[in-house]
Amino acid sequence: MKSVIPMDSVLGVLFAAGGTAILINALGYAPIAGMVVGPGLFPTITGAGMALFGLILAVQGWLGRAAARAEPAEPLITLFAVGIVVAILVATLLMPMLGFLIAGTVFAAVIVLMSGGKWLSAIIFSPIATFAIYALFTYGFRVPLPRGLLG
């Protein structure tokens, strides 16, 4: 039988490590001279709490590993989820250069296709939705969206 580290234990260790990092960082903030408080006091409590509960979760996960193994495993990272993240990241990087109208239209078309939509839907819907949102925010709410190449 293969040995698997329970995901809750992994998550618990990550939280414990994060909490410890917060704690160490917080202890480095100089307190206010002559006072019991300082900028590091509340983060110290938060970091310590996170480290403690992280350890508790790690132990709980380890103790409950038999039950966790019995659960049907669902794939956590999917191509769709990764695609969404990459699409938003690329759109965000390109938007100041290309402008919202161009980058938004391409982005919307990509999301429609990734979500199982048809080419025709993507071609018709994406420019209309992008322009409607652009008009709403630019003319309705006076938000200066990036104009990029069309500027």
Partner 1 sequence: MDAFGLALGLVLNFETLATILLAAMFGLFVGAIPGLTATMATALLVPITFYMAPIPAIAAIISCTAMAITAGDLPGTLLRIPGTPASAAYVEDSYRMAQNGQAGMAIGIGVIGSVLGGLFGFVFLLFAAPALAKAALGFSSFEYFWLAVLGLSCAALISSGGLAKGALALLLGLFISQVGLDPLTATPRFTFGLTELFGGISFIPTMIGMFAVGEVMRAGRRAMAEVPQMNLKNPFKGTLAVLWKYRVNQVRGSVIGSLLGALPGVGGDLAAWITYSLAKRTSKTPEKFGKGHPEGLVEAGATNNAALSASWIPAMVFGIPGDAVTAIAVGVLVMKGLDPGPTLMTNNPQNFYAVMIVFAIANILMLPLGYLAAKTARWIFEVPRALLNAAILLFCIVGSYSINNSMFGVYVMLIMGVLAFFLEARSIAIAPIILGIVLGPLVESNFTTSMIIADGNFMGFFGRPVAAVLGVATLLIWTLAIGGSLYRTARQRRALTP
Q: Which of 1, 35, 73, 120 binds partner 1 (CB under 8 A)?
A: 35
Q: Which is nearer to partner 1, 5 or 80 (CB)?
A: 80
> Considering the complex, what minimum distance in angstroms separates the CB of residue 2 from partner 1?
20
| Sign of the alpha-carbon torsion through 53, 58, 59, 61 | positive
When asked if residue 126 is in the footprint of partner 1 (CB under 8 A), the reply is yes
What six digits make up the tokens of 24? Answer: 């160490």
> Considering the complex, what minimum distance in angstroms separates the CB of residue 27 from partner 1?
12
Q: Which of 53, 90, 147, 148 binds partner 1 (CB under 8 A)?
A: 53
Helical ranges in the chain per DSSP H: 7-27, 41-63, 65-70, 79-98, 100-114, 119-135
When asked if residue 19 is in the footprint of partner 1 (CB under 8 A), the reply is yes
Restricted to residues 71-100, the positions that interact with partner 1 (CB under 8 A) are 74-76, 78, 80-81, 84-85, 87-89, 91-92, 95-96, 100
When asked if residue 135 is in the footprint of partner 1 (CB under 8 A), the reply is no
d(CA 9, CA 59): 7
Restricted to residues 98-117, the positions that interact with partner 1 (CB under 8 A) are 100, 104, 107-109, 111-117
When asked if residue 9 is in the footprint of partner 1 (CB under 8 A), the reply is no
